[in-house]
Structure 1
C-alpha cells in the first residue's frame, strides 16, 4: 500500500473514529503521524476526530504524536478550536494536557478557543479553558470584541453568568468593542431584557457609559424599534440610575451635591421632572406606534374585504356588469354610511398617532409638562378614534339578527368610555389649575416677604 493510500485511510478512520484501523496503519507505517506535521497544510486527522467527538481516537493520536495539537488548518484553527466550538469537554481536556498554550492561539478572526466556546454557549468547555488559562478571557478579537461581547451578541446568558462570576476586572466589564459598544449597550440594543437585568445587578457595570456616538444605554433604547419590552428595559435602566446623555449632569453641576443649598434642591427637582418627562415620552411613543400600525392595517383591510372582480353571473348564467371595481371595499357599497364613519375615525387615529410620533422625534424642546399633557390629550383622541373604529367594524361584521343586542352593548360601552375620558380630562385640568394657583400663591408670598424685608432695611 503506497503512502497516499495510507493517508487516505487515516483520514477515513479519523472521520469514523476507527481505532482498529489506526493501529493497523501505524503498524504499517509508524511515522505516518510524524510526517503530517511536515506535509499537512489543511485539517489533520486530529482536527477531524475532534470535530466528530471521537475521544479514544484523539487520545491515541496525542499519545503517538502530541505535536499535532499545535497544528493549524487553513483558517488558523487548532484541534482545540474545533473541540471547543463543537462542545466536547473530554477532548478539550486531552488537548489541554498536551499543550495548554493553545488556549491563547487565535484563528484568522482573532478568536481563541474560549471565544468560540462562548459564542456557542459551551459552558462545560468554558470551565475547562478558564481553569487552564485566565489570560484567554482578556484577549479580544480582530473586531475588538471581548469574550463578554461575544456572549451578549450571541445571546448566551448562561455562559455570560459563568464568566462574570470569574471575571472581576472593571475595565473588561465596561470595555467597548470595535463599534464603541459596551456589553450593556449590546444587550439593550438587542432587547435582551434578562441579560440587561442580570448585568445591572453587578455593581461594576457603568449604566451611563457612552458609546463612540455619545449615546448611553437609554439613548440606544430610544433610537431602536419600539415594542412593549422597551418599557420594561427603560424602567430597569432608570431604577439602576440610567440617564439620557443630555440629562447627565456636568462636573460643575455635580459639585452642588457637596454643598447642599437651594440650587442643589432645584437641580434635584429638575432631574425628577426630567425623569418623569422621559418616561411619559417613551410611553406615548410606544402607544402611538402601536395605534399607527393598527390604523394602517384597518385601512388596508376594512371589514368585509374587497371586491374580487368587476362582473357577476346571475342564476341564468348571464354576465352582469357590477357597479363596483375589483379592489374596492365591499363595505363602501354594502354599508356606505357606516363606511364613511369608519374612514373618518380610522383616519383620525392614524393621522393623530403619526403626528404624535413626528412631534416626539422632531427634536423640539418638549420639556414643559404642559406640552406633555397636550400630547397626552391628543393620544386620548387617538385611542377614542381607535375604539370607534373597532365599534363600527364589529357592527358591520355582526349578523343582522344579533345587531340589536350588539347596538345596546356598544351604546353602553361608548357612554362609559366618554365618561372615563371626561373624568380624566377634568381631573388633569383640575390638577394643572391647582399647581398653577399654588405656584402663583408661592410667588406672591415670596414677593410680599421681599417687600417686607426691603422696608425693614430702609427703616
Structure 2
C-alpha cells in the first residue's frame, strides 16, 4: 500500500485554479503526475521545466497539511541530488509529514539512504528533532537501528534531540536498550555524561520504567554495569518495582551476577534514596541549592532561555573571580612599595645622611608593619573568597571537600606571606 495523498490528490484540489497553459497540459498528462515522475527519476532539469510552466507548482503543496511532496518521493527513491535541490528551493517540504506520519528524513532512513539523510541534516540540523508517527524522531529511528556513527552525527548536529520523547515517553536511550543496541546505548551514555545531562538516564517511560528497569528486565548485564554507578538504583516503576525486584521476578541465568552488581550499587548509593517531588520540595535547601540562590541561579526549570541566562551569569561570575584571584596573587608577589633586595646594615647611611632606624631583611615588604598587616589581611581575604567562589562554581563538591580545599589554600597563603611581612620592631 503506497504512502500517498499524493501529488494526484493535490492536483485534484487545485486543477480548477491552474492557469490556461496548465489546464491545457492536463489534457495530455497532469502536471503533478509529471512532477511525481521527475521526483522518481531524479530529473532536476524536468523539475525546472515544470516550475517554468507553473511557478507556483511547489507552493500548492503548502496548502495541504499532510501530503506526499516531491521531496518525500525523492527521499523514498534515493534521488539524493534531486532531494538536495528541493531542500534548497523549498525547505518547508522537509518538515512536512505525509499521511503515514513520516517526514522526508524518516523515509530516507527507513530506506537506508544514509548519504541523503546526512545531506538533509547538513542543510537543516533541526530535522533531527522532527516528530513523526508516535512522536518518533530520526534520532529515535537511528537509535533503534543501532547505527552508532550516524547517531553520533545527529547528536552533534542537534544536541537538544536527546531530550525528545515519543508518545510513550521514551527517550532515545530507552529505545536503544529496548532494541538491545549496545553500541548505540554506549554512544548515548557517553553523550549524556559529557554534556552533564545524567538525569536523562533516570527519566521514566509511560510505565514508570527507567533505562535501568528495562536493562534489568532484558538481562543486559553490560548496560546494568554502566548505569549502576550514576542512576537511582532504588527508583520504582508504576508497579512499585525496582530493578532488583524485576531481576528476581525473571530469575534469569545471569541473575547472580546482575544481583551482585545491584547490591554493590545500593551499598555505594545508600545515601541517595529516591524521594518524591513533594518530599524533595519539603526538604531544606542543600549546599549547592543555597549556592545557586546566592548566585541568582534557579534550582528548577533549568531549560531554554533560563538555562542560557543562568549559564551566562555563571560564566561571568567565574571570569570575575578568576581575575580577582590573579590580581590579588600578583599583588602578593609584588606588594606596594616592593620588597627589600638586601639586609639592612646599621653602619650604612642613606643618601640623606640618616642611618636606618629599623632593621630589615631581603625579601620583606618595604612598607611598615601596620600597613603591611592591613594590606595582607584585605588582599588575603579577596584572594581566598575569590578562590572559594571558583571552587564551588567549577567543582560542585560536597561541603566537607570545600572545607579541606579552603584549609589547604589558607595554610599555603599564610606560610607564603610569613616571609614577606616586615619586622614589627
TM-score normalised by the chain length of structure 1: 0.47
1:195 pairs with 2:223:
yes
* TM-aligned CA deviation for residue 137 of structure 1: 0.9
Contact 1:118-1:147 within 8 A present in 2 as well: yes
Return the match for 2:212 from 169, 184, 187: 184
In structure 2, what is the equivalent of residue 211 of structure 1?
237
CA shift, 1:39, in A, is 4.6
Change in Cα spacing, 1:84 to 1:204, as seen in structure 2 (3 Å) is: farther
The answer on whether the counterparts of 1:53 and 1:91 sit within 8 Å (CA) in structure 2 is: yes
Residue 14 of structure 1 is matched in structure 2 by: 39
Alignment of 1:276-425 (within 5 A): none
1:84 deviates by: 4.2
Q: CA deviation at 1:138?
A: 0.9
SS in 2 for 1:32: coil
CA shift for structure 1 position 194: 3.2
- Is the Cα contact below 8 Å between 2:235 and 2:274 reproduced in 1? no
Change (3 A) 1:205 1:147: same
- Whether contact under 8 Å (1:84, 1:125) holds in the other structure is no
User: Post-superposition shift, 1:44?
Assistant: 1.3
SS in 2 for 1:167: helix
Q: How does 1:30-429 map to 2 (within 5 A)?
A: 30-39=55-64, 41-168=66-193, 169-200=197-228, 203-224=229-250, 226-241=251-266
Is the alpha carbon distance of 1:131 and 1:88 closer, same or farther for their aligned partners in structure 2, counting shifts above 3 Å? farther
2:379 matched residue in structure 1: none
C-alpha distance after superposition, 1:326-385 (max 9, x if no partner):
xxxxxxxxxxxxxxxxxxxxxxxxxxxxxxxxxxxxxxxxxxxxxxxxxxxxxxxxxxxx
Alpha-carbon shift at residue 180 of structure 1 (Å): 0.9
Q: How many residues align?
A: 244
Distance 2:233 2:160 in 1: 26
> Which stretches in structure 2 are left out of the alignment for 5+ residues?
1-24, 276-425
Cα contact 2:219–2:252 (8 A) shared by 1: no
Equivalent-residue separation in structure 2 for 1:15 and 1:235 (angstroms): 57
Root mean square deviation, CA, Å: 3.1
CA distance in 1, matches of 2:242, 2:94: 44
Q: Distance between the aligned counterparts of 2:150 and 2:42, measured in 1?
A: 21
Maintained 8 Å contact 2:232/2:274: no
| Residues 62 and 69, structure 1, Cα contact 8 Å, conserved in 2 | yes
Report if aligned partners of 2:42, 2:79 keep a CA contact under 8 Å in 1: yes
Query: Aligned partners of 1:13 and 1:120: how far apart in 2?
Result: 31
CA pair 39-210 structure 1, distance change in 2 beyond 3 A? closer
Q: Which residue of 2 aligns with 1:454?
A: none
**CA offset digits 1:93-125 (Å, max 9, x no partner):** 433344443333322422222222222223333
- 1:133-159 Cα deviation digits (max 9, x unpaired): 221111222211122111111212211
Offset of residue 230 of structure 1: 2.9
Measure, in 2, the Cα distance between the counterparts of 1:112 and 1:36. 23
Which structure shows the higher helix fraction? Answer: 1
| 5+ residue gaps, structure 1 | 251-459
Contact 2:139 2:151 (8 Å CA) reproduced:
yes
Task: Tell me by how many angstroms 1:24 deviates.
Answer: 4.6
SS in 2 for 1:222: helix
C-alpha distance in 1 between matches for 2:111 and 2:257: 35
